[in-house]
């Protein structure tokens, strides 16, 4: 079984909603076709509500409605922007978060405001998401301006502040500046890319060892690259953090390659990872975290 922790979809389909590169989000029907082609049973649908670099907004109400049409295949996350309500660090999101949770949302994400990770506006959201008891998937950006995602410096010091301040908030790490930190040779020049070569354990490894509330979203080229650039280390990493890593694709284009699917299957077939580790990462961890009745 495969449960994908990170995909995107929208019912809206039009030439005006294409990115600069000509791509667009798949419709629910197209997403399901892509899932079937990859042997993926279920997928978490994330929202896109932060304005930075947005070309198409996908609000929680749309995601909840889409997932209600395919309850055996699609799992909804909700999302919000920290500048909503009163655009202040004391804005009350509790009612909104509780509403989405009661409506069926299993988490928050993809959380991507282009503010410092530990900005008071973000901290206010993180505290309230922690209180409502939902996990949060974040995207890290390498700078403020010109990017989407929460900004952090090399070494992820702002993420560490959040992990310390919200010990009961499950944070799923995602994006190039997060996964590039799997190795200690990451630089300012390659942190928003896909570094290659042998891995010397870096900040992601240190932070996951120290903070049990930091989880890993293995989706997109960034997650795949982190575990495949150095096969021996990647398998050790999957083994060590087998209870906090999640298979994902980050399907957000039509069409899109999803190399992690075949790579995980290959590792299992070769015996490079155990059947237990394979099952945890491909679906059991997601079922447990999201409290799925399977």
* Length reported for the chain: 294
Could you list the pLDDT tens digit for every one of the 294 residues in the chain?
999 999 999 998 766 667 767 789 999 999 999 999 999 999 999 999 999 988 889 999 999 999 999 999 999 999 999 999 999 999 999 999 999 999 999 999 999 999 999 999 999 999 999 999 999 999 999 999 999 999 999 999 999 999 999 999 999 999 999 999 999 999 999 999 999 999 999 999 999 999 999 999 999 999 999 999 999 999 999 999 999 999 999 999 989 999 999 999 999 999 999 999 999 999 999 999 999 998
CB–CB of 66/11 below 8 Å?
Answer: yes
CATH at 203: 3.20.20.140
Look-up of token digits 């990115």:
19
Residue 43, SS3? strand
Residue 92 inside a domain? The answer is yes
Residue 86 inside a domain? The answer is yes
- Domain count for the chain: 1
Contacts of 222 (CB under 8 A, 6+ apart): 174, 175, 176, 178, 179, 180, 194
Q: Which domain range does residue 267 map to?
A: 3-289
Partnered with residue 7 across adjacent β-strands are 45, 251
Residue 294 inside a domain? The answer is no
Residue 154 inside a domain? The answer is yes
CB–CB of 242/267 below 8 Å?
Answer: no
CA distances to 93, 181, 196, 279 from 231, rounded to whole Å, are 43, 16, 11, 19
């Amino acid at each position: 079984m495969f449960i994908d922790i990170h995909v995107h979809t929208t019912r809206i389909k039009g030439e005006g909603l294409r990115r600069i590169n000509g791509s667009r989000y798949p419709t629910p029907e197209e997403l399901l076709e892509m899932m079937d082609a990859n042997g993926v049973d279920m997928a978490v649908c994330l929202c896109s509500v932060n304005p930075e670099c947005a070309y198409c907004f996908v609000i929680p109400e749309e995601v909840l409605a889409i997932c209600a049409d395919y309850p055996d295949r699609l799992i909804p996350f909700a999302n919000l922007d920290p500048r909503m309500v009163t655009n202040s660090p004391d804005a009350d999101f509790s009612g909104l978060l509780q509403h989405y949770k009661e409506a069926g949302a299993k988490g928050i994400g993809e959380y991507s405001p282009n503010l410092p990770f530990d900005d008071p506006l973000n901290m206010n959201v993180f505290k309230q998401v922690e209180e409502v008891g939902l996990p949060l998937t974040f995207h890290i950006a390498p700078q403020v301006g010109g990017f989407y995602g929460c900004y952090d410096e090399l070494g992820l010091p702002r993420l560490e502040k959040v992990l310390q301040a919200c010990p009961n908030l499950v944070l799923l790490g995602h994006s190039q500046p997060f996964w590039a930190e799997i190795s200690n040779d990451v630089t300012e020049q390659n942190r928003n890319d896909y570094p290659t070569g042998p891995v010397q354990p870096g900040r992601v490894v240190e932070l996951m060892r120290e903070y049990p509330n930091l989880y890993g979203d293995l989706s997109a080229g960034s997650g795949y690259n982190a575990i495949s650039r150095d096969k021996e280390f990647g398998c050790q990493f999957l083994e060590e953090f087998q209870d906090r890593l999640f298979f994902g694709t980050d399907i957000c284009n039509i069409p899109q390659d999803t190399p992690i699917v075949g790579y995980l299957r290959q590792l299992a077939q070769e015996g490079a990872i155990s059947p237990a580790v394979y099952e945890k990462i491909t679906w059991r961890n997601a079922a447990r975290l999201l409290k799925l009745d399977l």
